[in-house]
Amino acid sequence: MKILANDGISKSGIDNLTENGFEIITTNVAQEQLINFINENNIVGLLVRSATTARKDLIDSCPSLKLIGRGGVGMDNIDVEYAKSKGIHVINTPAASSASVAELVFAHLYGGVRFLFDSNRNMPLEGEANFKGLKKAYAEGIELRGKTLGIIGFGRIGQEVAKIALGIGMNVIATDKFLDKVTIEISISTGQSIKAEIIIQPFDKLITNSDFISLHVPAQQEYVIDSNVISKMKKGAGIINAARGGVIDEVALVKALDDGHLSFAGLDTFENEPKPEVKLLMHEKISLTPHIGAATLEAQNRIGEELATQISKLLK
C-alpha cells in the first residue's frame, strides 16, 4: 500500500511504515497536480502538514484514498467531517509537537522583553560604529519573572506554555470555552513533579490583567484579537501568536504597536501565508518566524512515529 507524505515525514516514521509493509512516497506534489498523482499511483494514504490541503474536491476525486493524516494538531486544511462521511480515516498528532510550540512561544517572549529581534537586525549594521548607542537603546528590558501571562486556549499546547511560565516564576491565567479548571503537572529532571491548578478565567478578565498574551486556538471565522480587544489590554503588553493566522487583526496590531499601546508582538503565523504583509515583516517591534512552531527534530520524530503507529493500526 502506498502512502504519500506530501509535506514530508521523519526518517523514523518512514522506517516504521516501511517495516510494516507500506511504500512511502515523499515527493512534494503541487496542489493542482495532487489529484492526478494520487489516482495514477493508487495512493491509499495522504499525509499533510500545513501546506497541502485535502478538500471536498480531492476527496471526491480520489477513490483509492483510505486515510488522510495531519502531521500536527490543527486540521483546518482538511475537510474532516466530509472525509469521514466518505469512510476515510482522518488522523492527526495532537500531543507530538506541543512542547516545541511552547518553547517557541518563550523564544519570542524572551526576545521581546530584551529586544533581541531588533538588536539582531541592527547589530550587523551598526554594531561596530554605534555600539554604545545600541547598548543604550536596548538597555531597558524587563524580566518575565513575576509578570502575568494570559493564555487564550488551554488545550495541550496552552498547558505546555503554562508549565514553562510557572517554572520561571510567572503568574498564569487562562481562558477556554470548554474548560472550567485544569490541573497541570510539571516534571523536573530529578524525577520529581509539581502539580498546579489553573482556574479558567473569563476572556475579558484575562485581556485586562495580562502583561503578555499567548494564543493557542484553532482557525476562527472572526478575529479573537481585534482593535476593541487590544484597546482593553494593558499599555505596554506583548502578544504572541503561534497558533493560526487570522486570529489577530494584523492591521489593528500594527496600529497598536505604532502608537505604543503594545510593546511588541511575536508572530509565527500570518493571515496571508505564505506571503505575510510587508508592514509586518519590516516592523521594528515584531519578532518573526515562518510558521515553525512544530519544526524541531524531536517533534518531527514524534509526529512521524505517531502517524506510523496509527496508520499501521487502521490500514493493516
Task: List residues bridging with 238 in a β-sheet.
Answer: 212, 264
Catalytic (active site) residue 244: yes
Catalytic-role residue among 49, 70, 108, 244: 244
90 SS3 class: strand
Catalytic-role residue among 291, 302, 305, 306: 291
Nearest to 18 by CA among 3, 29, 28, 6: 3
Dist. CA 255–CA 172, nearest whole Å: 27
Catalytic (active site) residue 291: yes
Catalytic-role residue among 89, 103, 261, 273: 273
Catalytic (active site) residue 156: no
CA 300, 288, 135, 148: dihedral to nearest 10 degrees? -80
Vertex 204 angle, CA 143 and 148, to 5°: 15
Dist. CA 38–CA 308, nearest whole Å: 19
Question: Looking up cell 493493516, which residue turns up?
Answer: 316
Backbone angles phi, psi at 270, to 5 degrees: -140, 155
Contact 38, 17 (CB under 8 A): no
Dist. CA 39–CA 46, nearest whole Å: 12
Dist. CA 4–CA 16, nearest whole Å: 15
- Convert 57-84 into a string of H (helix), E (strand) and C (coil): HHHHHCCCCCEEEECCCCCCCECHHHHH
Contact 250, 225 (CB under 8 A): no
> Which residues, including other chains, have CB under 8 Å from residue 79's CB and lie 6 or more apart?
54, 55, 56, 59
Dist. CA 48–CA 208, nearest whole Å: 38
Residues annotated as part of the active site:
244, 273, 291
